[in-house]
Protein backbone atom coordinates (compact mmCIF):
# COMPACT_ATOMS: atom_id res chain seq x y z
CA UNK A 1 0.00 0.00 0.00
CA UNK A 2 1.33 3.41 -0.95
CA UNK A 3 1.75 5.68 2.11
CA UNK A 4 -0.37 8.51 0.62
CA UNK A 5 -3.20 6.33 -0.65
CA UNK A 6 -6.65 7.55 0.52
CA UNK A 7 -9.75 5.38 0.53
CA UNK A 8 -13.22 6.84 -0.07
CA UNK A 9 -15.09 3.94 1.51
CA UNK A 10 -16.61 4.58 4.97
CA UNK A 11 -15.21 2.21 7.60
CA UNK A 12 -18.14 1.25 9.84
CA UNK A 13 -15.95 -1.05 11.95
CA UNK A 14 -13.55 1.63 13.15
CA UNK A 15 -13.98 2.41 16.85
CA UNK A 16 -11.28 4.72 18.22
CA UNK A 17 -9.98 4.09 21.72
CA UNK A 18 -9.72 6.79 24.35
CA UNK A 19 -6.00 6.96 23.61
CA UNK A 20 -6.74 7.39 19.89
CA UNK A 21 -9.17 10.23 20.59
CA UNK A 22 -6.62 12.05 22.75
CA UNK A 23 -4.36 12.20 19.68
CA UNK A 24 -7.06 13.74 17.45
CA UNK A 25 -6.47 17.36 16.37
CA UNK A 26 -8.42 19.84 18.52
CA UNK A 27 -8.28 23.33 17.03
CA UNK A 28 -10.99 24.69 19.35
CA UNK A 29 -8.72 24.20 22.34
CA UNK A 30 -5.62 25.28 20.47
CA UNK A 31 -3.28 28.14 21.40
CA UNK A 32 -4.31 31.79 21.14
CA UNK A 33 -1.98 32.14 18.15
CA UNK A 34 -4.66 30.31 16.12
CA UNK A 35 -7.28 33.03 16.80
CA UNK A 36 -8.41 34.84 13.67
CA UNK A 37 -9.44 38.47 13.90
CA UNK A 38 -9.35 40.59 17.04
CA UNK A 39 -8.22 38.94 20.26
CA UNK A 40 -11.34 39.94 22.23
CA UNK A 41 -13.77 38.36 24.66
CA UNK A 42 -17.04 37.03 23.16
CA UNK A 43 -20.10 37.51 25.35
CA UNK A 44 -22.15 34.58 24.01
CA UNK A 45 -21.19 31.61 21.88
CA UNK A 46 -22.96 28.27 21.68
CA UNK A 47 -25.85 26.38 20.09
CA UNK A 48 -29.15 27.90 18.97
CA UNK A 49 -32.55 26.20 18.51
CA UNK A 50 -31.77 22.53 18.95
CA UNK A 51 -35.01 20.66 19.63
CA UNK A 52 -36.08 18.02 22.10
CA UNK A 53 -39.21 17.15 24.08
CA UNK A 54 -39.07 18.45 27.66
CA UNK A 55 -41.39 18.11 30.64
CA UNK A 56 -42.75 21.13 32.53
CA UNK A 57 -44.79 21.40 35.71
CA UNK A 58 -48.26 22.92 35.42
CA UNK A 59 -50.10 24.92 38.05
CA UNK A 60 -52.16 21.91 39.11
CA UNK A 61 -48.92 20.03 39.90
CA UNK A 62 -49.17 17.70 36.89
CA UNK A 63 -46.55 17.60 34.11
CA UNK A 64 -46.79 18.30 30.39
CA UNK A 65 -44.31 17.36 27.66
CA UNK A 66 -43.68 19.99 24.98
CA UNK A 67 -41.44 20.27 21.95
CA UNK A 68 -38.83 22.80 23.03
CA UNK A 69 -36.21 24.82 21.19
CA UNK A 70 -33.09 25.24 23.27
CA UNK A 71 -30.39 27.88 23.00
CA UNK A 72 -27.35 27.36 25.19
CA UNK A 73 -24.46 29.81 25.27
CA UNK A 74 -21.40 30.65 27.33
CA UNK A 75 -18.87 33.46 27.28
CA UNK A 76 -15.43 32.97 25.74
CA UNK A 77 -12.22 34.48 27.07
CA UNK A 78 -10.16 36.57 24.68
CA UNK A 79 -7.21 34.16 24.76
CA UNK A 80 -9.31 31.08 23.82
CA UNK A 81 -9.87 29.93 20.25
CA UNK A 82 -13.32 28.40 20.78
CA UNK A 83 -15.50 26.04 22.82
CA UNK A 84 -16.53 22.42 22.45
CA UNK A 85 -20.15 23.06 21.51
CA UNK A 86 -21.20 19.43 21.76
CA UNK A 87 -20.62 19.67 25.51
CA UNK A 88 -23.51 22.11 25.77
CA UNK A 89 -25.87 19.58 24.24
CA UNK A 90 -24.41 16.70 26.24
CA UNK A 91 -24.67 18.53 29.55
CA UNK A 92 -28.25 19.42 28.67
CA UNK A 93 -29.20 15.88 27.66
CA UNK A 94 -28.08 14.65 31.06
CA UNK A 95 -31.31 16.17 32.42
CA UNK A 96 -33.69 15.53 29.52
CA UNK A 97 -35.92 13.19 31.55
CA UNK A 98 -36.32 15.61 34.46
CA UNK A 99 -39.14 18.12 34.93
CA UNK A 100 -37.83 21.51 33.88
CA UNK A 101 -38.07 24.58 36.06
CA UNK A 102 -35.67 27.42 36.86
CA UNK A 103 -33.99 25.46 39.66
CA UNK A 104 -33.00 22.79 37.15
CA UNK A 105 -31.82 25.42 34.67
CA UNK A 106 -29.52 26.85 37.33
CA UNK A 107 -28.08 23.37 37.87
CA UNK A 108 -27.45 23.00 34.13
CA UNK A 109 -25.81 26.41 33.95
CA UNK A 110 -23.44 25.46 36.75
CA UNK A 111 -22.47 22.38 34.76
CA UNK A 112 -21.83 24.63 31.72
CA UNK A 113 -19.42 26.75 33.71
CA UNK A 114 -17.65 23.68 35.07
CA UNK A 115 -17.39 21.77 31.78
CA UNK A 116 -16.59 24.73 29.56
CA UNK A 117 -14.59 26.89 32.00
CA UNK A 118 -16.73 29.93 31.27
CA UNK A 119 -17.53 32.97 33.41
CA UNK A 120 -21.06 33.64 32.04
CA UNK A 121 -23.67 31.13 30.89
CA UNK A 122 -27.18 31.40 29.51
CA UNK A 123 -30.08 29.10 28.55
CA UNK A 124 -33.20 29.98 26.58
CA UNK A 125 -36.10 27.53 26.24
CA UNK A 126 -38.80 28.33 23.65
CA UNK A 127 -42.09 26.45 23.57
CA UNK A 128 -45.81 26.84 22.96
CA UNK A 129 -47.75 26.26 26.17
CA UNK A 130 -51.41 25.06 26.08
CA UNK A 131 -54.04 26.23 28.57
CA UNK A 132 -57.70 25.22 28.42
CA UNK A 133 -59.97 28.16 27.67
CA UNK A 134 -63.72 28.05 28.27
CA UNK A 135 -65.90 29.95 25.80
CA UNK A 136 -67.67 33.08 27.03
CA UNK A 137 -71.27 31.77 27.08
CA UNK A 138 -71.58 28.33 25.46
CA UNK A 139 -69.27 26.55 27.95
CA UNK A 140 -67.19 24.93 25.20
CA UNK A 141 -63.54 24.21 25.90
CA UNK A 142 -60.51 24.54 23.65
CA UNK A 143 -56.74 24.85 23.93
CA UNK A 144 -55.25 28.33 23.77
CA UNK A 145 -51.51 28.23 23.00
CA UNK A 146 -49.06 30.78 24.38
CA UNK A 147 -45.55 31.45 23.10
CA UNK A 148 -43.21 31.28 26.08
CA UNK A 149 -39.47 31.80 26.53
CA UNK A 150 -37.75 30.72 29.73
CA UNK A 151 -34.44 32.52 30.10
CA UNK A 152 -31.88 31.66 32.79
CA UNK A 153 -28.56 33.48 33.22
CA UNK A 154 -25.58 32.87 35.52
CA UNK A 155 -22.73 35.39 35.66
CA UNK A 156 -19.16 35.20 36.94
CA UNK A 157 -20.23 36.33 40.43
CA UNK A 158 -22.71 33.48 40.72
CA UNK A 159 -25.72 35.78 40.35
CA UNK A 160 -28.66 33.86 38.88
CA UNK A 161 -31.45 35.58 36.91
CA UNK A 162 -34.86 34.08 36.05
CA UNK A 163 -36.80 35.69 33.22
CA UNK A 164 -40.05 34.79 31.46
CA UNK A 165 -40.99 36.23 28.06
CA UNK A 166 -44.71 35.66 27.52
CA UNK A 167 -46.91 36.52 24.53
CA UNK A 168 -50.59 37.28 25.09
CA UNK A 169 -52.94 37.72 22.10
CA UNK A 170 -56.00 39.91 22.53
CA UNK A 171 -58.48 42.05 20.62
CA UNK A 172 -58.26 45.83 20.76
CA UNK A 173 -61.26 47.94 19.74
CA UNK A 174 -60.36 51.58 19.03
CA UNK A 175 -62.12 54.09 21.33
CA UNK A 176 -61.91 56.86 18.73
CA UNK A 177 -63.37 54.67 15.98
CA UNK A 178 -66.14 53.59 18.36
CA UNK A 179 -67.14 57.19 19.14
CA UNK A 180 -67.10 58.19 15.46
CA UNK A 181 -69.20 55.16 14.52
CA UNK A 182 -71.75 55.98 17.21
CA UNK A 183 -71.88 59.60 16.02
CA UNK A 184 -72.49 58.51 12.42
CA UNK A 185 -75.36 56.30 13.56
CA UNK A 186 -77.03 58.89 15.80
CA UNK A 187 -76.50 62.02 13.68
CA UNK A 188 -76.89 60.66 10.16
CA UNK A 189 -78.50 57.22 10.62
CA UNK A 190 -75.52 55.68 8.79
CA UNK A 191 -74.41 52.14 9.58
CA UNK A 192 -70.82 52.22 10.83
CA UNK A 193 -68.54 49.60 12.39
CA UNK A 194 -65.64 50.63 14.66
CA UNK A 195 -62.32 49.03 13.82
CA UNK A 196 -60.67 46.43 16.05
CA UNK A 197 -57.69 44.16 15.51
CA UNK A 198 -55.77 41.22 16.81
CA UNK A 199 -53.07 42.52 19.12
CA UNK A 200 -50.08 41.04 20.93
CA UNK A 201 -48.52 41.92 24.26
CA UNK A 202 -44.99 40.66 24.96
CA UNK A 203 -44.51 40.68 28.72
CA UNK A 204 -40.97 40.07 30.01
CA UNK A 205 -40.64 39.59 33.76
CA UNK A 206 -37.69 38.93 36.03
CA UNK A 207 -38.66 37.36 39.32
CA UNK A 208 -37.28 35.80 42.49
CA UNK A 209 -40.13 33.74 43.91
CA UNK A 210 -42.04 30.98 42.16
CA UNK A 211 -43.93 32.10 39.05
CA UNK A 212 -45.67 29.92 36.46
CA UNK A 213 -46.93 30.42 32.92
CA UNK A 214 -50.52 30.23 34.17
CA UNK A 215 -49.83 33.13 36.54
CA UNK A 216 -48.72 35.35 33.66
CA UNK A 217 -51.74 34.35 31.58
CA UNK A 218 -54.07 35.29 34.44
CA UNK A 219 -52.36 38.67 34.94
CA UNK A 220 -52.63 39.54 31.25
CA UNK A 221 -56.25 38.44 31.04
CA UNK A 222 -57.17 40.42 34.16
CA UNK A 223 -55.49 43.52 32.77
CA UNK A 224 -56.76 43.38 29.17
CA UNK A 225 -59.98 41.30 29.39
CA UNK A 226 -60.39 40.80 25.61
CA UNK A 227 -58.30 37.68 24.96
CA UNK A 228 -58.94 36.07 21.56
CA UNK A 229 -61.19 33.01 21.67
CA UNK A 230 -60.75 29.36 20.66
CA UNK A 231 -64.24 27.79 20.59
CA UNK A 232 -67.04 30.14 19.48
CA UNK A 233 -70.79 29.79 18.87
CA UNK A 234 -73.16 32.67 18.07
CA UNK A 235 -73.75 33.50 21.72
CA UNK A 236 -69.97 33.66 22.25
CA UNK A 237 -69.50 35.95 19.28
CA UNK A 238 -72.14 38.29 20.71
CA UNK A 239 -70.43 38.17 24.09
CA UNK A 240 -67.06 38.97 22.52
CA UNK A 241 -68.54 41.99 20.76
CA UNK A 242 -69.97 43.18 24.06
CA UNK A 243 -66.67 42.54 25.83
CA UNK A 244 -64.78 44.65 23.29
CA UNK A 245 -67.39 47.40 23.69
CA UNK A 246 -66.85 47.33 27.44
CA UNK A 247 -63.04 47.39 27.24
CA UNK A 248 -62.13 49.80 24.43
CA UNK A 249 -58.41 50.56 24.41
CA UNK A 250 -55.64 52.33 22.55
CA UNK A 251 -52.22 50.67 22.52
CA UNK A 252 -51.16 53.16 25.22
CA UNK A 253 -54.03 51.97 27.41
CA UNK A 254 -53.01 48.33 26.96
CA UNK A 255 -49.44 48.87 28.17
CA UNK A 256 -50.59 50.92 31.17
CA UNK A 257 -53.19 48.33 32.15
CA UNK A 258 -50.50 45.64 32.10
CA UNK A 259 -48.13 47.86 34.08
CA UNK A 260 -50.79 48.32 36.76
CA UNK A 261 -51.15 44.55 37.05
CA UNK A 262 -47.46 43.63 37.06
CA UNK A 263 -46.25 46.34 39.42
CA UNK A 264 -48.55 45.04 42.15
CA UNK A 265 -47.12 41.49 42.17
CA UNK A 266 -44.43 41.12 44.83
CA UNK A 267 -42.79 38.17 43.04
CA UNK A 268 -41.75 40.33 40.09
CA UNK A 269 -38.57 42.38 40.51
CA UNK A 270 -38.43 43.93 37.04
CA UNK A 271 -40.44 43.84 33.82
CA UNK A 272 -40.85 45.17 30.29
CA UNK A 273 -44.07 45.49 28.28
CA UNK A 274 -44.31 45.69 24.49
CA UNK A 275 -47.81 45.98 22.97
CA UNK A 276 -48.47 45.81 19.24
CA UNK A 277 -51.88 46.54 17.72
CA UNK A 278 -51.91 45.10 14.20
CA UNK A 279 -54.14 47.80 12.77
CA UNK A 280 -57.14 47.04 10.58
CA UNK A 281 -57.51 50.77 9.79
CA UNK A 282 -53.86 51.47 8.91
CA UNK A 283 -51.35 49.54 6.86
CA UNK A 284 -48.93 49.75 9.79
CA UNK A 285 -48.99 48.63 13.42
CA UNK A 286 -49.31 50.78 16.54
CA UNK A 287 -46.87 49.92 19.34
CA UNK A 288 -46.23 50.92 22.93
CA UNK A 289 -43.17 50.03 25.02
CA UNK A 290 -43.18 50.44 28.79
CA UNK A 291 -40.17 49.62 30.97
Q: Would you state the pLDDT for residue 29? A: 63
Q: What are phi and psi of 100, to 5 degrees?
A: -85, 130
The mean pLDDT value of the chain amounts to 91
Instruction: Taking residues 244-251, report their average pLDDT.
Output: 97
Strands 99-100 and 121-134 turn out to be: unpaired
Q: Would you state the pLDDT for residue 228? A: 98
Q: Would you state the pLDDT for residue 225? A: 98
Strand partners, 71: 124
DSSP state of 15: -
Q: Would you state the pLDDT for residue 25? A: 78
Strands 42-57 and 99-100 turn out to be: parallel
Q: Would you state the pLDDT for residue 211? A: 94
Q: Would you state the pLDDT for residue 147? A: 98
Distance (Å, whole) CA 278 – CA 286? 7
Strands 63-76 and 121-134 turn out to be: antiparallel
Distance (Å, whole) CA 5 – CA 2? 5
**Whole-angstrom Cα Rg for the chain:** 26
Structural contact between residues 104 and 56, judged by C-beta atoms closer than 8 angstroms: no
Per the rule left: phi > 0, alpha: psi between -120 and 50, beta: everything else, 280 is: alpha
Who's near 289: CB < 8 A, 6+ residues apart? Answer: 255, 272, 273, 274, 275
| pTM of the complete model | 0.89
Q: Within its chain, how far is the Cα of 41 from the centroid?
A: 27
Amino acid sequence: MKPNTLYSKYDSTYKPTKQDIEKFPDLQNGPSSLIQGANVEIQQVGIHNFKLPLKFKTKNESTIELETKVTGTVSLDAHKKGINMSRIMRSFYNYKDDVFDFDLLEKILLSYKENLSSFNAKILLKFSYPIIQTSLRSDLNGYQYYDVNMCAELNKNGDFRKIFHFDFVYSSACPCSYELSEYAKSSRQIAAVPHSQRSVARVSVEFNENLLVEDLQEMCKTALQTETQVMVKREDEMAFAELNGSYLKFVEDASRLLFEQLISDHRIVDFRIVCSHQESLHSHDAISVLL
